[in-house]
């Protein structure tokens, strides 16, 4: 499938927030998020945050999905770290090679970085795509404090 990847724009807000609500209410995500979080994420993407970037996958002005990356530094690997945060493809466009092309796009843009992502253990389809793109499972757990 032919499509382009571009930065999220203000005029994408309604559709992006709708996709975020669907994504975060699915089994693919552990947390539920919420409207306030989604709006803050969106604002960070369009206001040049140094930590978060958002992208749209588009074909003939039709949005197929979106992705967000978060930037940090990994002392474990001694270089910048790019986290693939949200990767969401609308149901009718899944399985058409969008995610691998997006991963390559980000890898090219941040060629000196280490790349990380999280996936729900029972999301076999996503894990298959990520492993095919070269990601490996890490042998430790992640923890959080809120």
Q: Report the C-alpha gap between 37 and 43 in whole angstroms.
A: 10
Rounded CA separation 140/126 (Å): 20
Indicate the average pLDDT of the chain: 95
pLDDT of res. 142 = 84
Among candidate residues 82, 84, 69, the one with its CA nearest the CA of residue 127: 84
C-alpha–C-alpha distance, residues 45 and 70, integer Å: 10
Digit-coded pLDDT (tens) for 63-74: 999 999 999 999
Question: pTM for the complete prediction?
Answer: 0.93
Assess whether pLDDT exceeds 90 at residue 140.
no
Closest by CA to 8, choosing from 88, 78, 101, is 88
Cα angle for residues 98, 88, 42 (degrees, 5° grid): 120
Do the Cβ atoms of 53 and 72 come closer than 8 Å? Answer: no
Tell me the chain's radius of gyration from C-alpha atoms: 15
Say whether pLDDT at 32 is over 90: no
The pLDDT of residue 11 is 98
Report the pLDDT value the prediction gives residue 70, as an integer from 0 to 100. 98
Whether the pLDDT of residue 75 is over 90: the answer is yes
Query: How do residues 87-137 score in pLDDT, each as one tens digit?
Result: 999 999 999 999 999 999 999 999 999 999 999 898 999 999 999 999 999
E strand map for 30-91: 52-59, 62-74, 79-89
User: What is the band of 28 on the pLDDT scale with cuts at 50, 70, 90?
Assistant: confident
Tokens 């996503």 -> residue: 126
């Amino acid at each position: 499938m032919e499509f382009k990847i571009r930065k999220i724009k203000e005029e994408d807000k309604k559709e992006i927030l709708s996709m975020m609500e669907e994504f975060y209410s699915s089994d693919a995500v552990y947390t539920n998020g919420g409207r306030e979080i989604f709006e803050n994420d969106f604002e960070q993407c369009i206001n040049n945050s140094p930590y978060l970037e958002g992208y749209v996958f588009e074909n003939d002005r039709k949005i197929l999905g979106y992705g967000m990356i978060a930037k940090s530094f990994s002392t474990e690997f001694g270089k910048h770290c790019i986290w693939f945060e949200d990767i969401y493809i609308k149901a009718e466009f899944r399985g058409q090679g969008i995610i691998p092309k997006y991963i390559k796009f980000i890898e090219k843009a941040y060629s000196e970085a280490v790349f990380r992502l999280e996936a729900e253990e029972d999301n076999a389809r996503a894990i298959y795509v990520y492993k095919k793109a070269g990601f490996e499972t890490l042998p430790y757990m992640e923890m959080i404090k809120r």
